[in-house]
Amino acid sequence: MKSRLHELTGESDGLDEAVGGTHVRWAVMGIVMAVMAVTALNRLNLSIAGKYIEEEFSFSTISMGRVFSAFLWGYGLFQIPWGYVCDRIGPRRTLTASIFCFAVGSGAMVFAPRFAGATGISALAIFRIVRFLTGVGEAAVSSNVTRVIASWTALRERGFASGLQVCGLGLGGTLTPIAIAWTMVHWGWRVSFGISAALAFLVVALWHWYATDWPEEHPRVNRRELRTIHPGSESATPRPQQTAIKVPWGKMFGSLSVWALILAYGFQGYAFYVYYNWFYFYAVKMRGLDLMHAAAWTSAPFLAMALLSPVGGWFSDRVAHVSDRRKGRLAAVWVGMGVAALLLYTGNHISLTAVALPMIALAAGFTMFGAANFWAACIDLAPGYSASLSALMNTVGSLGGVVSSTVTASIAVHRGWVPALDVAVWVTVGSGLLFTMVNANQSIGNVDDR
């Protein structure tokens, strides 16, 4: 306590200079990656376990589709409310509540059949309610994590930190099919959901114990690290006034950059959900792989996302360092979406499966190479209320995913998988072109962006 008082009053400057700056922000970013990984785990687990649940309870495919859609309803409807709450009270409490909510949701899946039997409510209805609540919890994560990055990293680090955010999601997506499938084979689907919930509870405990809303509030952050995060700032005191703010929705909706950002992310969401929802089906139906080989390939796009998203953020920061933020973000998005479109088109039209599937998986990775910079742009445009803007953006991205799910299936059924993926190619190009109108150099309103 005494040393912290010295830091805040400036009496520890000499000591800080001698020992160097702390690196607490990167420990926080590590926890953020863990949060994103368990978010992916608790979201994707049903897509692997769904087949076993469908067989055990004699659900039709349409009924299972309703269980899947229940998550998306909760996820879509609560994005903006959670983002607004985060900007009002800060990400620590909001993210704690949201992770706890979806951890309870995954744990409740274990007991849902027993509860249905005890109450007389159908198992289908209980599963839908539980997955809706899981979606409500997960709706907060991406926007709150964006707010953490805005608070905890320097301007020149935003792209890379946003890449780590997407990297955590990719790692969770890479490991989930393997871990959940192995657990179900050995112990059953109920245990797989119990383990998913336990990991989420572990991460939320770690987050709540270690994180703070602002680096100025953290007892392990010294003055030198604060100057790294806020270069040129003489203040080392907490700034709670930056959370209890009124979100200027009017200015946001009046900004061309905001409209370009959210529409471009809607296009990106369309492309992302092609990989997310249909890569497995494409591998089986178009490429003729057996179920086990197709399942193994399902992890490949997520692995590519995990590897390339931090690179995309780093690339953006480096370009911004020698020019400006707008050029940095734009260069990364153009490279990511351009290469992704080229790889997807080429892989889709190559007959050799051993070459085609790696190219399509790599296309997913380059999509996230660019997409990491959409999240960084939320902070650039609205540093003081980035949770609200990123929630709005992610809502539009989810709508793009809804459209993608329907349109891709319809084209695949009536015209084939090649035309279905070709549409995703042009949508990917459209995302990069729309991002051209995003000016990351100009923040909305008069929020202090140090």
Q: Are residues 284 and 271 in the same domain?
A: yes
CA distances, 418 to each of 11, 289, 346, 415 (Å): 66, 16, 11, 8
CA separation for the pair 276, 337 (Å, rounded): 17
Asked which of 226, 244, 262 is the last residue of a domain, the reply is 244
Q: CA end-to-end span of the chain, whole Å? A: 27
**Span 389-401, pLDDT tens digits:** 988 998 898 888 8
- Domain of residue 228 covers 1-244
- Give the other-Cβ count within 10 Å of 1's Cβ: 6
pLDDT over 60 at 233, yes or no: no
CA separation for the pair 41, 202 (Å, rounded): 13
pLDDT over 60 at 256, yes or no: yes
**Span 21-44, pLDDT tens digits:** 789 999 999 999 999 999 988 888
What is the predicted pLDDT for the residue at 445?
60
Q: Are residues 203 and 295 in the same domain?
A: no
CA separation for the pair 358, 296 (Å, rounded): 12
- Residue 220 pLDDT level (bands cut at 50, 70, 90): very high
| 54 vs 163, more confident | 163
Compute the half-sphere exposure of residue 397: CA atoms within 13 Å on the CB side of its CA: 26
pLDDT over 80 at 3, yes or no: no
**Span 323-347, pLDDT tens digits:** 888 999 999 999 999 999 999 999 9
**255 close to 444: Cβ distance less than 8 angstroms:** yes
CA separation for the pair 406, 383 (Å, rounded): 35
pLDDT over 90 at 261, yes or no: yes
What is the predicted pLDDT for the residue at 245?
61
What is the predicted pLDDT for the residue at 244?
47
**172 close to 40: Cβ distance less than 8 angstroms:** yes
**360 close to 343: Cβ distance less than 8 angstroms:** yes
Q: Are residues 421 and 273 in the same domain?
A: yes
CA separation for the pair 161, 146 (Å, rounded): 9
- Residue 292 pLDDT level (bands cut at 50, 70, 90): low
**186 close to 54: Cβ distance less than 8 angstroms:** no
| 199 vs 449, more confident | 199
**Span 274-285, pLDDT tens digits:** 887 777 777 777
Q: Is residue 449 assigned to a domain?
A: no
Asked which of 244, 273, 306 is the last residue of a domain, the reply is 244
Q: Are residues 175 and 62 in the same domain?
A: yes
CA separation for the pair 450, 447 (Å, rounded): 9
Q: What is the mean pLDDT of residues 112-132?
A: 86
Both tokens of 179, joined, read 């871990």
Q: DSSP of 316-358, one letter per residue?
A: HHHHHHHS-HHHHHHHHHHHHHHHHHHHHHHHHH-S-HHHHHH
**166 close to 32: Cβ distance less than 8 angstroms:** no
Q: Are residues 237 and 320 in the same domain?
A: no
Asked which of 186, 211, 244 is the last residue of a domain, the reply is 244
pLDDT over 60 at 299, yes or no: yes
Q: What is the mean pLDDT of residues 113-122?
A: 82
CA separation for the pair 50, 176 (Å, rounded): 13
Buried b (16+ CB within 10 A) or exposed e, 399-409: bbbebbbebbe
- What is the pTM for the complete model shown? 0.79
